[in-house]
Amino acid sequence: MFSLVFATNNLHKLREIREITGNTINVRSLTDIGLDADIPETQDTIEGNARQKARFIYEKTGMDCFADDTGLEIAALNGEPGVYSARYAGEGCSFADNVRKVLEEMLGMDDRRACFRCAICLIYKGNEFVFEGRIDGEITFSQSGSDGFGYDPVFRPEGQPQTFAEMPPYLKNGLSHRGRAVHQMLQYLNQFQ
Ligand code: IMP
């Protein structure tokens, strides 16, 4: 089985990645390897941030690892919050602050189209690869659901009756930007089996 360190301090992402990879990969958290680190993400693209996070952990540990970075792009807001999705409502803001800000910015807007894009950077045997996943959908007019994290209560994937936060994890993971990017990574890793 592959053993990869996942470069994140976000426990929601860690749980999702483990649900998505099942028993194909032994996903090791930073806690598992005893690393307490604040991982930088200062680039201006999600791909750049994913590379920066993975390189940071690789340089510290020399272990095979991967990182993801996600952006929510809202058409009527010219692609915002995009790469700045984590701190949309300001430095140190919560998920709830960000969700409130999205709903406020979109007050009175009929065009609700949005997408999540996720970039995963894998560093395996010293080589770096990037995989991307995307899901289109729309921003709802109010919050629904309590599962998931981040913007999940206001994002409804195309063709679905529920927001990500109303779905059981297997349904979100089967559709999501992260699920799609991870499946590409798994396909890529298959050649090394
Ligand atoms: P990052 O990838 O940690 O930089 O995430 C950027 C922002 O998007 C954070 O505010 C996350 O909470 C949010 N986010 C990341 N992945 C998801 C997701 O799967 N659903 C909803 N929000 C997400």
pLDDT digits (tens, 9 = 90+) for 49-79: 999 999 999 999 999 999 999 999 999 999 9
List the chain domain ranges: 2-190
pLDDT the model gives residue 47: 98
Q: Which of 64, 68, 69, 152 is catalytic?
A: 69
DSSP code for 44: S
Is 110 designated active site? Answer: no
Report pLDDT digits (tens) over 152-186: 999 999 999 999 999 999 999 999 999 999 999 99
Pocket around ligand 1: residues whose beta carbon is below 6 Å from it? Answer: 10, 41, 69-70, 72, 85-86, 95, 98, 148-152, 164, 176, 178
Task: Please give the structure tokens belonging to residue 193.
Answer: 């089996």
> Helix axis angle, 177-190 relative to 11-21, nearest 10°?
50
Residue 119's DSSP bridge partners are: 69, 132
Q: Is the pLDDT of residue 193 over 90?
A: no
The CATH number corresponding to 2-190 among 2.60.40.1120, 3.40.47.10, 3.90.950.10, 3.40.50.150 equals 3.90.950.10
Q: What is the pLDDT of residue 55?
A: 98
What is the number of the ligand 1 atom nearest to the C-alpha of 88? 10
Indicate which atom in ligand 1 lies nearest the CA of residue 172: 19
pLDDT for the residue 79:
98
What spacing in Å lies between the alpha carbon of 150 and ligand 1's midpoint?
5
CA nearest neighbour of 89 among 78, 97, 80: 97
Q: Over 90: is that where the pLDDT of 82 sits?
A: yes
Ligand 1 mean position, distance from CA 58 (Å): 22
Q: Is the pLDDT of residue 1 over 90?
A: no
Tokens representing residue 82 in the block? 């995009």
Report the alpha-carbon distance of residue 12 to residue 82 in Å, rounded: 19
Task: Quickly count: other Cβ atoms within 10 Å of residue 141's Cβ.
Answer: 12
